[in-house]
Copies of this chain bind each other. A is one copy, B any other.
């Protein structure tokens, strides 16, 4: 019987801690309020769920969350110019480009149009570069990674020294940030990356003290692939073709009995990511306004 890593509860704690900080910021910005813009291109059912959730959380916190919608067939250069225009607006303190963008768009070019001081997801090359080189003054982390680390911290699971951390998936939202974080001296973990092409996934997973999965592949990790006592964090998101529901990568039923700690899906990494976007927004704004 694993202990559940309750992202719903921990995310509420994070947001509660942010409230006095947001009040301080809003007092300074008066008559404006702290403002986040979400750039949404076309419509994508999962994205609609995520932006609705961000909007709700923002409202509860006293943060204005504006959804800027653009048509599905917008060209890369046009969208890039639109994001640059949003970025020039001084009342906009943070920008989220809701991913995935339609396949014809050069995604990174859009992400690179978000200036580093408003890049709450740490996806533009400048913010990502500061994360990659571990810049001392750059105190935020990519939001999903930040959510995972905060969740592990709350359960006393954040001493990674000498631990084997197996990360499934190598995308920009989960896999790459996680591997790079665990390679840092401050983490001192052994970071192993597996992906769909990995021939012996089970061999690598068996070495894991901690598994972080962000492959977006339903049922990727099953009970017989993991060892007793493993900590399992499921940051995967894909659509179950039968139910249409968002599901993780981990076969909860078979993995949970062997794990010591495991995230539920939903209610694990998802709410943590949303909370950490606002956490990052607050940190970046405090830095800009020189609020201690």
B179 contacts A191, C-beta separation under 8 Å: yes
- Name the one of B135, B183, B203 contacting A207, with C-beta atoms under 8 angstroms: B203
A204 contacts B180, C-beta separation under 8 Å: no
Q: Which segment of A17-25, A28-36, A168-176, A276-284 sits at the interface?
A: A168-176
Kindly list chain B residues whose C-beta atoms are within 8 Å of the C-beta of A175: 183
Number of interface residues of A (CB under 8 A): 45
Contacts A125-B130, A126-B126, A128-B132; is A190 near B198 (CB within 8 Å)? Answer: yes
- Name the one of B126, B162, B194, B200 contacting A125, with C-beta atoms under 8 angstroms: B126
Contacts A132-B129, A134-B108, A176-B183; is A197 near B193 (CB within 8 Å)? Answer: no
B134 contacts A132, C-beta separation under 8 Å: no
Closest to A182 in B: B193
Contacts A129-B128, A130-B129, A207-B203; is A190 near B183 (CB within 8 Å)? Answer: no
A135 contacts B108, C-beta separation under 8 Å: yes
Kindly list chain B residues whose C-beta atoms are within 8 Å of the C-beta of A180: 132, 176, 179-180
Give the distance in Å from the alpha carbon of A135 to the alpha carbon of B192 in the complex: 24
Give the distance in Å from the alpha carbon of A184 to the alpha carbon of B176 in the complex: 9
Copies of this chain, complex-wide, total 2
Give the distance in Å from the alpha carbon of A184 to the alpha carbon of B179 in the complex: 12
Kindly list chain B residues whose C-beta atoms are within 8 Å of the C-beta of A123: 133
Task: Verify if A218 is at the interface (C-beta below 8 Å from B).
Answer: no
Kindly list chain B residues whose C-beta atoms are within 8 Å of the C-beta of A136: 106, 108
Task: Verify if A242 is at the interface (C-beta below 8 Å from B).
Answer: no
Kindly list chain B residues whose C-beta atoms are within 8 Å of the C-beta of A111: 133
Kindly list chain B residues whose C-beta atoms are within 8 Å of the C-beta of A199: 162, 164, 190
Q: Nearest Cβ in chain B — how far from A5, in angstroms?
A: 24
Closest to A191 in B: B193
Task: Verify if A188 is at the interface (C-beta below 8 Å from B).
Answer: yes
Within 8 A of B (CB), among A129-186: 129-130, 132-136, 161-162, 164, 170, 172, 175-176, 179-180, 182-185
Q: Nearest Cβ in chain B — how far from A185, in angstroms?
A: 8
Q: Nearest Cβ in chain B — how far from A271, in angstroms?
A: 27
Q: Nearest Cβ in chain B — how far from A253, in angstroms?
A: 26
Kindly list chain B residues whose C-beta atoms are within 8 Å of the C-beta of A164: 198-200
The 8 A-B residue pairs with the shortest CB-CB distance in the complex, in nearest-first order:
A129-B129, A125-B129, A190-B198, A170-B183, A192-B192, A162-B197, A132-B132, A191-B193
Query: What are 10 A-B pairs with beta-carbon distances under 8 A?
Result: A108-B134, A111-B133, A112-B133, A129-B130, A161-B197, A176-B180, A176-B183, A179-B193, A188-B197, A204-B207
